[in-house]
Structure 1
Amino acid sequence: MGEARKMIGAAFYHNFMDVIDRPRDFRAEFDIGRLGALTVGELSCGADVRMRLGELGAYHVNILLGGQMSFRQGGGACMVATAERAGVFQPVGDTVVERWSGDCRILAVKMDRETLDKRLERLIGRPVRAPLMLAPELDTTRGPGRAWARLVTTVFEELREEPGDAPAQPSLCTSPLVAEPLQEAILNGLLLAVEHPFRGELMAPAQNLRPAPVKRAMDAVEERPEHPFTPAGLAAEARVGVRWLQEAFRRYVGMSPMAYVRDVRLTRVRDELRAAEPGALSVSEVAHRWGFSHLGRFAEQYHARFGELPSQTLRR
């Protein structure tokens, strides 16, 4: 069991595991692959087990290929995942698998939290300020849920190593030309399949999506957020007038063009602070690099956006 805990910990999450079905032998079988910010694995234990995982720090879906799994997160009710209903887990909230049945095989999909959050923001064309709350279960017997489960299964079959003594050939899925679109397809598919507050907006007809000039301006900001953009400069990027762009941004993005520039810059600052090694850089150094010259105003804007000061992000 110790080896199984280590493998799950290395590929997925730190855990504590207890066998609760003593008459049955514990025989764990794991087959795990990676696709960019995704980890996908087929897992089984061979005996009923209970697991304590703490906070996952990532979005996670368990597609059951047989058996049952009962789980709870935070103070929520106990949920039961089956071959008809996948279990969906949030990044936050203490996670306990109350019973992972011995006959239960799961196709586990771990998704980096920031990657899924940014994919949603990219799809709806504006920042998401509140945590994304996914429904705790997904119907895999019909509609988008079934299509998504099939997509994940197909990708995993390509990721798993070929059996035998000969060295495995590299999977086509590991090629950058294929891996990135596949990762986006899985993330997009989940956002369309599982219930959450933004699903209706994503399912809206195509004519409700942002127009091409708005997209051109947003792409320019995403590619060069440190550039000293002005309203006139962004309008030139979009190939429209300043007033048209202002009104279109408010309608389709929910903020002005310059507010969008500031939000993208704040996000880049946060990404850099979170990735920094202790003592490697200062908040002011990062803020200046992304175009913030007034540190006091920057700190206020950062706190309003992320709920903490940039110095707190750097310390964590």
Structure 2
Amino acid sequence: MNVSVPRPHLPLSRFQQLRTRDPDQAREVVGDVFCPHRLTSLDGARTFDTRFHAAAAGRVSLCYLDYGGRVHIAPEAQETFYLLLIPLAGRAELADGPLRAAYGPGAAGVPPVDRGYTIRVGAGSPHLVVRIVREHLERHLRGMLGRRVAEPVRFDLGMDMAAPALRSWRRVLDLLLDEIDDGGRIPLHPLAMRDMERLLLTRLLLGQPHNHSALLHEPPRDAPPRAIRMAAELIEAHAGEELTVEDIAEAVGVGIRALQAGFRRHLDSTPTRFLRETRLRRVRQELTAADPATTKVTDVAARWGFVHPGHFSVSYRRRYGEPPSATLRR
């Protein structure tokens, strides 16, 4: 599947880890990032030409991997991360025992966790690979459900990128890829990166079918008023810290969806909107008390998690009827 915005260079080119025609070197370097595996060039040395780029952002890593020619890959079983294999061109096939998923433009592959599998990649099939720490994804699922789950998440092998929910997920992924490629501030800012991770994982768990999907799509029950009061007090007390909806839900002992339903019912808001409004209010308070000669609006905004000056300025003006610079000058 083509990336949504044309790029003048290969994805993640600033993070090149390897360029080689040696299959042994490719297997060693790629295996260090993912896991040990067997790598067989199906066309011999004639077309084998590996490029590997890799960058980490929080507990999510993005990689660009192109073997040039046709290859067969047999990874060892691993239990610590999930992979999403998104071809930027060409074709590939993922096999988990008797199960098969062929994918190419408009589709992707999701290997199983905790058991071996094989991948057959066609010639001219560069991939964008997303690596997600398993513990982080499963903790996020527990937060969404408000309960523990006995089984690991087992996604369907094939991923239909044309499905509306997964198109939404891909837009978030492309935003993160752009931020990493262009040296943006989100991957470097803990508050912003936690929000990005949360959105990426939520849309993945809701969009890609897996063994817990039915539980996620059950109608949520509202969190009780006491839990909503506790959540609001928690946000007020910790708005300047790394705080996500899952953190709040876990702290007050409810699931994410129950928390969201309770905020809508009792506060006519959402936890995310309530947190954003709290942070905007704290920015306004700080700007009102600050010395304009020694204070920059962007620095104050960044301290409260607003890393895109343009977006922040629009939100601030919409909320308070004036630009943040006018508040600072008063």
TM-score by length of 1: 0.61
1:32 Cα shift?
Answer: 1.2
The CA deviation at 1:23 is 7.1
Q: Which residue of 2 aligns with 1:148?
A: 169
Paired position in structure 2 for 1:71: 94
Task: Work out the CA distance in 2 between the residues paired with 1:76 and 1:181.
Answer: 38
1:104: which partner in 2? Answer: 125
Q: Which residue of 2 aligns with 1:27?
A: 49
Structure 1 CA distance for aligned equivalents of residues 103 and 135 of structure 2: 25
1:116 & 1:144 partners in 2: Cα distance? 18
- Deviation track 1:168-227 (CA, whole Å, cap 9, x = no partner) reads x5743221121111111111111011012432443455x63434535678999xxxxxxx
Instruction: Tell me if structure 1 keeps the 8 A contact 2:94–2:111.
Output: no
Equivalent residue runs for 1:227-242 within 5 Å: none
Match of 1:174 in 2: 188
- Gapped runs of 5+ residues in structure 2? 1-22, 234-250, 260-330
Deviations along 1:51-79, whole A, 9 cap, x unmatched? Answer: 11011322111112111111212x34122
1:60-139 alignment runs, 5 A limit: 60-73=83-96, 75-97=97-119, 99-139=120-160
Residues 172, 24 of structure 1: CA spacing in aligned structure 2 closer, same or farther, 3 A cutoff?
same
C-alpha change, 1:101 and 1:84, in structure 2 (3 Å) is: same
Paired with 1:55 and 1:37, the residues of 2 have a C-alpha distance of 20
Report how many aligned residue pairs link the two structures: 217
SS at match of 2:73: strand
For residue 39 of structure 1, give the secondary structure of its aligned residue in structure 2: strand
Change (3 A) 1:30 1:128: same
Confirm or deny that 1:2 pairs with 2:24.
yes
After TM superposition, the structure 1 = structure 2 runs for residues 26-65 of structure 1, keeping only pairs within 5 Å, are 26-57=48-79, 58-65=81-88
The code of the aligned residue for 1:77 comes to: L
Given the superposition, is the C-alpha separation of residues 52 and 197 from structure 1 closer, same or farther in structure 2, using an over 3 Å criterion?
closer
CA RMSD of aligned residues (A): 3.0
Distance 2:203 2:25 in 1: 33
| 1:8–1:15 contact (8 Å) kept in structure 2 | no
Does structure 1 conserve the Cα–Cα contact (< 8 Å) formed by 2:58 and 2:187? no
**Is 2:37 the counterpart of 1:15?**
yes
**TM, length-normalised to structure 2:** 0.59
- Displacement of 1:140 in angstroms is 0.5
Q: Confirm or deny: 8 A CA contact 1:84 1:140 kept in the other structure.
A: yes
Unaligned runs of 5+ in 1: 163-168, 221-236, 239-244, 254-316
Question: Partners in 1 of 2:184 and 2:164 — Cα distance?
Answer: 32
